Amino acid sequence: MDKNLTYTTIDEYIDQYPEEIQKLLQQVRATIKQAAPEAEEAISYQIPTFKLKGNLVHFAAFKNHIGLYPGASGVKQFEGQLKDYELSKGTIRFPINKPLPLDLVTDIVKYRVQQNLEKAALKKVSKKVSKKA
């Protein structure tokens, strides 16, 4: 991977990797698309990103893992199911030498969709309330 490249699409990002890593990235991408069909694909922070009323989830490839970035709340909500994976505040690291837990990725993405939609609805309500005041 060339750290100096700038990507404009998820395909460009994925195409830079060896075939076996491309397959893993495409699995994650397809899983996210299925769990959040209304989400838009983008590149943010030079990694694949899905957006729905704001950032939904990011993912990326590294030497030994695929990183999924559902934010701190996404990791915290599923901590009990993530015991087999390395975690940090908003990051889940799935080893590339083990099958990806795609059902779990689906659940995490659906949770993030719910969070983003609820947050957007609250913003809409608060704007209406402040306009009336």
Task: Please state which of the four CATH numbers 3.90.1150.200, 3.20.20.210, 3.40.190.80, 3.30.750.24 is assigned to the domain occupying 10-132.
Answer: 3.90.1150.200
Contacts of 42 (CB under 8 A, 6+ apart): 48, 49, 50, 51
Of 50, 36, 30, nearest in space to 100 by CA? 30
Looking at residue 123, its pLDDT comes to 75
Per the structure block, which two tokens stand in for 113?
Answer: 């969709």
Q: Does the pLDDT value for residue 107 go beyond 80?
A: yes
pLDDT digits over 44-58, tens only?
999 999 999 999 999
Name the residue ranges covered by the structural domains of the chain. 10-132
